[in-house]
Structure 1
């Protein structure tokens, strides 16, 4: 993992993912052995690159097994080594905080937001108590993002502001960029588009500065979507095309699928319905293949709108009913209310 870590953040991300996938059996065996013996020196440097790998490849359940096994190992360690000194105890607490933050990120990726909040809150408290400012910033970020997806905007803003403050105080530039992007999403969902764009552009500037291609591609997509919301379709298409190209370059299939959804929505705005269907069909194929049902639901909602505009109402209802079931399972209140409003309109007409 240490050898491949430099390949997981820039132009060589796709190669790094492929090589780590080939080595995964050995990595898994090594991790399990280190977890049983609580070899923190071996485990802790692997958390960040492995988390990135599991998120990019959609292997979130495997990632949770990694985190769970390490947490079990560290929980059993006090009985095996009762003479640990204060410094060692502090390291153990910081390590546990990192593992809980890892689980929070994976739960968020699985749309299990309540579970993500539980782990993020534990990680934040442990990190704060042990002076691990970077982990505290990450935990507050994941906490805020999970709250945001549950529609708890006031609490989400509070946690994201804490994450941003910790990141800026510690000069953790990537976390700062991610927190700014999350605050942009928060403003975006409340239709405060000028504010959202300022956050997105600030995030994009940092991502470019630190050569974070994944962060840059995400912010490009966000800016493109804001341009679309504001009616600037030409600029929106330019930003989204740049975002899609970067996602494909680094092999981020999940983000590729979500960006294709945005491009489908843009094509629908321009009444380019065959093109919209093509983008959304490709998005659904990718997102279903990754088992990212919550993002697939977003594509289904957009596809339903395309069918509605073409008079294919039964098809639209089928898409929205499938999306509704996914949002109910994930408890995504804001999106659930939206799709139910669409369904009421069409089912009444039918």
Structure 2
């Protein structure tokens, strides 16, 4: 079964990614993506794209990461995967934040926050609030940063998230 093979390759990519061997991870994610595209099922194509973005982001190749996150976002929206869409939006925010393009990062974090609230993803909402705080902090807009940090803290206490 080609899908099982694609999953196994993706899992190998995840393992190498966890080991910090990003180049090796990228090789496996690419192979997984090739198989997923051959199968032609859009539902399973978005994950290897997102994983490729994460690996390139870890290598500091943010522009390349953004390309893969963007492709993943397109697919997640096409298939109606709201959780996946939120993850891709957040990852795009992180990549732009890493590039120092804080205003662009804020746009993606805001979209991710709106979506998290719509689907009731409280953990995602907390992460987005925190990320917005970080971006505003980087812009020197400290009062705005404090507001988002405070919302994140309140939410974390509500849901019992001690991380």
Q: TM-score, normalised by structure 2?
A: 0.82
Once the two structures are superposed, the pairs formed by residues 204-223 of structure 1 within 5 Å of their partners are 204-223=73-92
Tell me, in whole angstroms, the C-alpha distance in 2 between the residues paired with 1:290 and 1:161: 35
User: What is the total number of aligned residue pairs between the two structures?
Assistant: 161
Specify the SS of the correspondent of 2:45.
helix
* More contact order relative to length (CA 8 Å, sep ≥ 6): 2
Tell me, in whole angstroms, the C-alpha distance in 1 between the residues paired with 2:77 and 2:36: 17
Structure 1 or 2, whichever has the larger Rg, is 1
* 1:134–1:172 contact (8 Å) kept in structure 2: no
Give the alignment partner of residue 285 of structure 1, picking from 143, 156, 162: 156
* 2:73–2:88 contact (8 Å) kept in structure 1: yes
Tell me, in whole angstroms, the C-alpha distance in 2 between the residues paired with 1:270 and 1:241: 16
- Decide whether aligned partners of structure 1 residues 277 and 150 sit closer, same or farther in structure 2, where only a CA change above 3 A counts: farther
The ranges of structure 1 where at least 4 consecutive aligned residues each deviate by more than 4 angstroms after the TM superposition are none
- Decide whether aligned partners of structure 1 residues 208 and 234 sit closer, same or farther in structure 2, where only a CA change above 3 A counts: same
Once the two structures are superposed, the pairs formed by residues 60-209 of structure 1 within 5 Å of their partners are 131=1, 133-209=2-78
Tell me, in whole angstroms, the C-alpha distance in 1 between the residues paired with 2:69 and 2:41: 17
- Decide whether aligned partners of structure 1 residues 251 and 173 sit closer, same or farther in structure 2, where only a CA change above 3 A counts: same
Tell me, in whole angstroms, the C-alpha distance in 1 between the residues paired with 2:147 and 2:12: 35
Q: Say what the alpha-carbon RMSD is for the aligned residues.
A: 2.5
Structure 2: any 5+ residue segments left out of the alignment? none
Segment drifting more, 165-174 vs 197-206? 165-174
Structure 1: any 5+ residue segments left out of the alignment? 1-130, 297-350
* 1:225–1:236 contact (8 Å) kept in structure 2: yes
Tell me, in whole angstroms, the C-alpha distance in 2 between the residues paired with 1:272 and 1:192: 27
Q: TM-score, normalised by structure 1?
A: 0.42
